[in-house]
Amino acid sequence: MSASLTTPRFGRRTEGASIPDPAAAQAGSAAAPPPPSHGSPPDDAIAALRKLCLARLDPAVVSNMPVEQLTSDVERLISELASQNRAQLNAREQRALANEVVNDIVGLGPLEPLLEDDAVSDIMVNGPNRVFVERRGKTEMSDVRFRDTSHLSGICQRIAAAIGRRVDESSPMVDARLRDGSRVNIVFPPLALDGPYVSIRKFSKKTIDLARLVEFGALTPPVARVLQVAGRARLNIIISGGTGSGKTTLLNALSRFIDVGERVVTVEDAAELQLQQPHVVRLETRPPSLEGKGEITQRDLVRNALRMRPDRIIIGEVRGGEAFDMLQAMNTGHDGSMSTIHANTTRDALTRIENMVQMGNMGLPSKAIRTQIVGAIDMIVQVERQRDGRRRVTQVTEVCGMEADVVALNDVFLLEVQGQREDGTLFGRYRVNAVPPTFIRRLAYFGLDTVWADAVHEAMA
C-alpha cells in the first residue's frame, strides 16, 4: 500500500455522503424499489461512492502522484469504501469507477478513452450529453457522456488552466493545447447555446509521410513523386483545402524533403508542424491577455522571421495580413517556402490570398497584387475530404504567369471521380496535363526535370 492514501491527511471522514442502503429504503417504505440483486448498481450509489472517494483524496498529493500508483490506490480505496458502505459493486464496476475518478482528477474525465484511441482523429463535445468523434473520416456519435454541465465545465477549466487561462462568461472562447500537442477550442455559454462546446484535433502520434498517404489512397505514386520533386526543387507551395481536409498533414509530409542543412523558420497559431530537420526554428503567436494587451500576430512573426536569416519560411496557415509578408518573403529569395490556406479550389486559394493582402494593405491595386502572387507562388495543391470520408489530393496546379489581368493556371493533375464502389469508397483518376511547367529550368538546375517528366507521363499511362 502506498503511503499517500494511508497518510492521515486523507482523514477518515465517515460523516457526509453515505451510500443509500437499498435494504433500509425498502424497510422504510413499501413502495420503494427492490434492491438490485444483479445487474448494474444504481447510479446514486455510484455517485455517493464517488463523492466519498473524492472527499478522501487530497488534491495537492494526488496531482503529483504517478497515474499507475494513483489508479491502484483509488481502486483499493473504492473497494474499501464499497464494503464499508455495503455498496453492491462488483470488481469490474469498482475498477471502472476508479478509472473514472482518476481520469477526472488527472486527465480529461470521460474524454480520456477517446484521447487514447488512435482511431479517433477529432473529438467534438456539444454539451455534456453529446460527444461526437471522427473515426476513419466518418463522424459518429460516441456513447461518452459527462455527468452534467458542471462536470464538463470543470474539465474545460482544467484545459484552460494549463495555459494560464480561464473560460467564463467574460472570456468565453479559448484556444489551447493538450500536453500531447492536440489542438483544443472551447466555447462557453452564453455564446455556446447548448452548454460548453469543445473541439479537439488530436495530435497524430504517427507521422504521416507521402508513402503513407499513397497507402491511404490520398494520391497515386506518380503524383507523390511530383510533389516530392516540388519540395526538393524549392518551389514555393501553397496547400489549399477545407477544414480538416488534411492540409497540415500534407505540409508535414512535404517538409520531409527539405534538406537537413537548411535553416527553416516556422510560424504558427498553434504549433502542429512536425519537422524532422535539425535546424528548425519554431515560432508561435500569442493571443492578447485578458486586458487585451500583448498580442503577437502571425504577421509580426513573419516579419521577424525575415530577420532571422531563414532559408525557408513555413507558415502553418495563412489567414490574414501576413499573406503580404509571405509573398514578399517568397519573392525575395526565401524559395521553398510553404503554407496552407482555407479555400475550395486552387484558383479560389489565389483569390483568398489577394483578398487578404488587400485587407491588410488598403489601396494596393489588384494587378500589383496578382503580379506579386505570380512571382511568389509556383504551385498550389488542393486537398479535399470527399464524401466517402477519404482525404485526397484533388488538384495540383502550376501558377504559370499573367494573361492580361488574370493569373494563368495550369492543372498538372486534376482528380476526376468516376464512381463509387460497393463498399462506398469513390474511385477515379487524375486528368494530366503534360506540358512542361514554367519552372522547368529550375527543375533542371536541381537535376529533377526528367524525374518530373517521367512521373507526369507515368500518371497519364
Ligand X SMILES: Nc1ncnc2c1ncn2[C@@H]1O[C@H](COP(=O)(O)OP(=O)(O)OP(=O)(O)O)[C@@H](O)[C@H]1O
SS3 state at 266: strand
d(CA 299, CA 301): 5
As measured in angstroms, the least distance from the Cβ of 132 to ligand X is 14
Cell of 265: 523558420
Count of residues interacting with ligand X (CB under 6 A): 15
The DSSP 8-state label assigned to residue 34 in this structure reads P
d(CA 68, CA 33): 38
As measured in angstroms, the least distance from the Cβ of 157 to ligand X is 24
As measured in angstroms, the least distance from the Cβ of 7 to ligand X is 43
As measured in angstroms, the least distance from the Cβ of 243 to ligand X is 4
| Nearest to 225, CA basis, from 241, 211, 207, 239 | 211
The binder of 41, among Mg ion, ligand X, none, by C-beta within 5 to 8 A per type, is: none
Do 176 and 186 meet the contact criterion of CB atoms below 8 Å apart?
A: yes
Cell of 351: 483569390
Q: Which residue, 56 or 247, is less far from Mg ion as judged by CB?
A: 247
Do 385 and 137 meet the contact criterion of CB atoms below 8 Å apart?
A: yes
- Per CB under 6 A, the segment of 17-25, 153-161, 243-251, 444-452 that binds ligand X is 243-251
CA distances from 420 to 125, 137, 360 (A): 32, 16, 44
Q: Which residue, 168 or 284, is less far from ligand X as judged by CB?
A: 284
Binding residues among 112-141 for ligand X as defined by CB under 6 A: 121
- Per CB under 6 A, the segment of 106-114, 142-150, 244-252, 320-328 that binds ligand X is 244-252
- Per CB under 5 A, the segment of 162-170, 247-255, 395-403, 446-454 that binds Mg ion is 247-255
d(CA 244, CA 241): 8
- Per CB under 5 A, the segment of 242-250, 287-295, 346-354, 427-435 that binds Mg ion is 242-250
Cell of 200: 479537439
> In terms of C-beta distances under 8 Å and separation of at least 24 residues, what long-range contacts does 350-359 make, across chains too?
350/377, 350/380, 350/399, 350/407, 350/409, 353/238, 353/318, 353/323, 353/327, 353/377, 356/318, 356/319, 356/320, 356/321, 356/323, 356/324, 357/323, 357/324, 357/327, 359/320, 359/321
Q: Which residue, 97 or 239, is less far from ligand X as judged by CB?
A: 239
Among 85, 248, 252, 346, binds Mg ion (CB under 5 A): 248
The binder of 29, among Mg ion, ligand X, none, by C-beta within 5 to 8 A per type, is: none
Do 285 and 175 meet the contact criterion of CB atoms below 8 Å apart?
A: no
Do 50 and 101 meet the contact criterion of CB atoms below 8 Å apart?
A: yes
Verify binding: residue 142, Mg ion, rule CB under 5 A: no
Verify binding: residue 347, ligand X, rule CB under 6 A: no
- Per CB under 6 A, the segment of 50-58, 238-246, 374-382, 403-411 that binds ligand X is 238-246
Closest residue to ligand X in the complex (CB): 246
The binder of 243, among Mg ion, ligand X, none, by C-beta within 5 to 8 A per type, is: ligand X
Do 443 and 452 meet the contact criterion of CB atoms below 8 Å apart?
A: yes
Q: Which residue, 19 or 267, is less far from Mg ion as judged by CB?
A: 267
The binder of 71, among ligand X, Mg ion, none, by C-beta within 5 to 8 A per type, is: none
The binder of 121, among ligand X, Mg ion, none, by C-beta within 5 to 8 A per type, is: ligand X
How does DSSP assign 295-334, residue by residue?
-B-HHHHHHHHHTT--SEEEES---STHHHHHHHHHHTT-
Verify binding: residue 352, ligand X, rule CB under 6 A: no
Among 245, 298, 345, 395, binds ligand X (CB under 6 A): 245
Binding residues among 183-222 for ligand X as defined by CB under 6 A: 201, 204, 213, 216, 218
d(CA 163, CA 44): 35
- Per CB under 6 A, the segment of 236-244, 326-334, 369-377, 447-455 that binds ligand X is 236-244
d(CA 108, CA 215): 33
Verify binding: residue 336, ligand X, rule CB under 6 A: no
Per CB under 5 A, residues contacting Mg ion are 247-248
Footprint on this chain of ligand X (rule: CB under 6 A): 121, 201, 204, 213, 216, 218, 241, 243-249, 391
